[in-house]
Amino acid sequence: MSFAVTILGCSSAKPTPDRHPSAQAVNVHEQYYLVDAGEGVQQQLVRYGINPLKLRAAFISHLHGDHVFGLFPLLSTLGLYGRRTPLEVFAPAPFGELLACHLRHFDTELPYEVVWHEVRTTEHALLYENRTLEVWSIPLRHRVPCAGFLFREKEPPLNADKSKIAKYGLSIAQIAAAKRGEAVRLDDGTLLGNGELTYRPYAPRSYAYLSDTNFSAKAAELCRGADLMYHEATYAAAERKIARERGHSTTEDAAKAALRAEARRLVIGHYSSRYKDAEALAGEARRLFPESYAAQEGVTFTIEKRP
């Protein structure tokens, strides 16, 4: 069961020759979710081998252009590809007005429905749920309403212990009951607790995406225990004053958030165009949080299973 994040764009607002603005593709059990949609995101999806038709939903952190301008041409292209299933888009207001304008002037006859859900950026709320996944909003501190997203895998189904099946001679019905989390009574009347017969195949995994924001202890707390955390680091550590004024974070802020969250790994991105060497920025974060990595386009960060 896969859980991975592919970086499609890692730059902030100003274009650079080798970095696209913010966009990521999150793969949870081969179901894909787009997180932010900077310019060129549809080309980036194709470039890195992700079929745009596989997108189940899009999550937009805020309505600055470098996080949303790429969504509208993607909507058009999905129509050309012949998409028929609805695409859910989670974004702060007034995204609905922007979407209505686009549909009125450019995509009047899309063969599928675009369903907008408003993200209330001051609330930590469940936005999306299916059989294997929950996505929660994380309030952030930016110059405009902005939310991060926490992708959290649900508890996987219990596995029956094959050695215990053989030991107790369990029937198919008894095995099914054990997998449902029930205790099992044997033919001789012995009651076996569920823990005797089953085990959890792996711990649920999680990914936290903290887009444009000042350092927020509250946001970090809401991501506690994340296996992988992405945190913007627009500026180097020495630029803390300008970062604070512009609603952004430094490399040290990102590292402090990862420490506060007790995350397992940190990925930084959203670099200002003034910086040419992303590894140098990651090195600053690494001084506080050793498991820090630089976002690079086309790189996939896989969250492995653990007991």
The whole-angstrom separation of Cα 254 and Cα 288 is 10
Query: Rounded to the nearest 10 degrees, how much is the dihedral formed by the CA atoms of 47, 48, 50, 53?
Result: -20
Instruction: Tell me phi and psi for residue 4, to 5 degrees.
Output: -150, 155
3-class DSSP assignment, residue 274: coil
The whole-angstrom separation of Cα 260 and Cα 169 is 48
b/e burial code for range 166-189 (CB count within 10 A of at least 16 → b): eebebeeebbebbeeeeebeeeee
Q: Of 24, 21, 12, whose CA–CA distance to 209 is shortest?
A: 24
232 has which bridge partners? 269
DSSP-based helix, strand, coil % in the chain, nearest 5: 30, 30, 40
DSSP H helical ranges for 205-245: 217-222, 240-245
Q: Is 66 a catalytic residue?
A: yes
3-state SS track over 2-46: CEEEEEEECECCCCECCECECEEEEEECCEEEEEEECCCHHHHHH
Selected catalytic residue, list 36, 66, 227, 253: 66
Q: Which amino acid appears at position 190 of this protein?
A: T
| Residues 213, 249 contacting (CB under 8 angstroms) | yes
The helix/strand count (H/E) of the chain reads as 11, 18
Q: Of 70, 25, 65, whose CA–CA distance to 43 is shortest?
A: 70
Residue found under tokens 């099992």: 184
Query: Could you give the residue numbers annotated as active site?
Result: 66
